[in-house]
Amino acid sequence: MKTAIAPSPTGLEQVVACETRLSHVDGEKGQLWLRGLSLEQAVNRLDWQGLIGLLWQDLCPIPTQAEFGLGRAQAFEQLAPFWPHLQNLKAFEALRAGLDLLPGEPQACDLLSASQVLLAGWLRLQSGQSPLRPTPENEAVTDFGRMITGKTPDSSWVQALTCYWISVSDHGLNASTFAARVIASTRSDLRSAVLGALGALKGPLHGGAPGPVLDMLDAIGSPERARPWLEAELAAGQRLMGFGHRIYRVRDPRADVLRQALQAWQNNPTNHNNTRLALARSVESVALEILAAHKPERKLETNVEFYTALLLESLGFEREVFTPLFALGRLVGWAAHVSEQNLYGRLIRPQSRYIGPPAEDAGQGV
């Protein structure tokens, strides 16, 4: 007897797989809500602590600034023996391995604090310097910047990075969050869910795109080369990084928020002067025109990764750490989703439709 299974659209498109109080993505209107705040309200009203308070309320213990500071100090001690090993890994692998090496059963605050210590320490080691001990009384984003350079960062740098982390903190049931919830649904631990989510985030169709956005801008080089370069890419069957989204059929609202953050940061006379923005704006407009002609039936607009790349580069980060930086923001959302899954969810276990060869004994009556 055949089992009736409704065919699922490829890639689970439009399938509602869980309920959440955390965020809502309206793909038709181009809006993102974080617990009832629009993204624009969230970036205007919240700092790092405020983001934690918003997403973790009723779900995870909300650490104070001092508790986060103690979390960084503890992580620094715990990770100290492992720097010789971690420094030889790529940034993403160092983050993943470092989280796996933490003793005990780390909770959300421990994982978040350790991630900041790990990435800052790894960056120091790459420039031939020793990792810097955290200053526990500092605000978390400020201390992250100080642990990288040894200097207290400018408040506009802190504001821009905080804006980035708020923008990417949560985004409905994206692939990495789904991975985290699947793992949590088996009653596994938070660290395992975060490590699984990291694996999903790494891919270029998800969080791995911003580095390649800069590769693309490097390859194009000047505005007049944009059209032939982009057309050749599409003709070769390549996807243009930083464009298209599974849910948004209009512009990703995070792209605009990050473009504004970039402009605000670049208006500050003390910062790095990034000359890429003008090139990026012309590449973006040509790409949108070409994509509209290439796929008229599928609206392909600018996504979050395009301006992520420009903002993070302008803040002084190398492209290799773009995806780990994304992870540090999204970890806030992953931790909240894991708690939500644990509180209200059931084992996530969909079915597959078997399309392999029939059983050898089929029809032989045995």
Q: Give the residue numbers annotated as catalytic, written as ranges.
A: 245, 305
Residue 245 in contact with ligand ACO, rule: CB under 6 A:
yes
Choose between 106 and 253: whose C-beta lies nearer to ligand ACO.
253
Choose between 77 and 215: whose C-beta lies nearer to ligand ACO.
215
Choose between 96 and 206: whose C-beta lies nearer to ligand ACO.
206
Residues 176-205 that bind ligand ACO (CB under 6 A): 204-205
Residue 239 in contact with ligand ACO, rule: CB under 6 A:
yes
Residue 207 in contact with ligand ACO, rule: CB under 6 A:
yes
Rounded to 5°, the CA angle 283-284-289 comes to 100
Residue 300 in contact with ligand ACO, rule: CB under 6 A:
yes
Residue 324 in contact with ligand ACO, rule: CB under 6 A:
no
Phi/psi at 6 (5° precision):
-65, 135
Choose between 21 and 246: whose C-beta lies nearer to ligand ACO.
246
Q: Which of 246, 249, 251, 299 binds ligand ACO (CB under 6 A)?
A: 246
Q: Which of 150, 222, 298, 350 binds ligand ACO (CB under 6 A)?
A: 298
- What DSSP letter does each residue of 189-254 carry, written as one string? -HHHHHHHHHHHHTSTTTTT-HHHHHHHHHHH-SGGGHHHHHHHHHHTTPPPTTB--SS-SS--HH
Q: DSSP class of residue 104?
A: S
What span, in angstroms and rounded, lies between the C-alpha atoms of 96 and 84? 15
Choose between 75 and 163: whose C-beta lies nearer to ligand ACO.
163
Number of shown-chain residues binding ligand ACO (CB under 6 A): 20
Choose between 150 and 203: whose C-beta lies nearer to ligand ACO.
203
Residue 85 in contact with ligand ACO, rule: CB under 6 A:
no
Q: For ligand ACO, which stretch binds (CB under 6 A), given 49-57, 74-82, 98-106, 240-248?
A: 240-248
What span, in angstroms and rounded, lies between the C-alpha atoms of 27 and 9? 18
Least distance from ligand ACO to the Cβ atom of residue 311, Å: 14
- Rounded (to 5) percent helix, strand, coil in the chain: 60, 5, 40
Nearest to 247 by CA among 8, 14, 9: 14
Count of H helices and E strands in the chain? 16, 3
Residue 63 in contact with ligand ACO, rule: CB under 6 A:
no
Q: Which of 242, 324, 329, 333 binds ligand ACO (CB under 6 A)?
A: 242
Residue 293 in contact with ligand ACO, rule: CB under 6 A:
no
* 26 membership: H or E segment, kind and range: strand 23-26
Residue 333 in contact with ligand ACO, rule: CB under 6 A:
no
Residue 45 in contact with ligand ACO, rule: CB under 6 A:
no
CB atoms within 10 A of CB 285: 13
Q: For ligand ACO, which stretch binds (CB under 6 A), given 141-149, 265-273, 302-310, 333-341?
A: 302-310
Residues 6 or more apart from 87 whose CB is under 8 A from it? 94, 122, 125, 126
CB atoms within 10 A of CB 133: 14
- What DSSP letter does each residue of 31-61 carry, written as one string? EEEETTEEHHHHHHH--HHHHHHHHHTTTS-
What span, in angstroms and rounded, lies between the C-alpha atoms of 51 and 184? 22
Choose between 131 and 211: whose C-beta lies nearer to ligand ACO.
211
Q: For ligand ACO, which stretch binds (CB under 6 A), given 16-24, 80-88, 124-132, 298-306?
A: 298-306
Q: Which of 209, 217, 283, 332 binds ligand ACO (CB under 6 A)?
A: 209
Which residue has the closest beta carbon to ligand ACO? 244
Q: Which residues bind ligand ACO (CB under 6 A)?
A: 11, 204-207, 209, 239-246, 295, 298, 300, 303-305
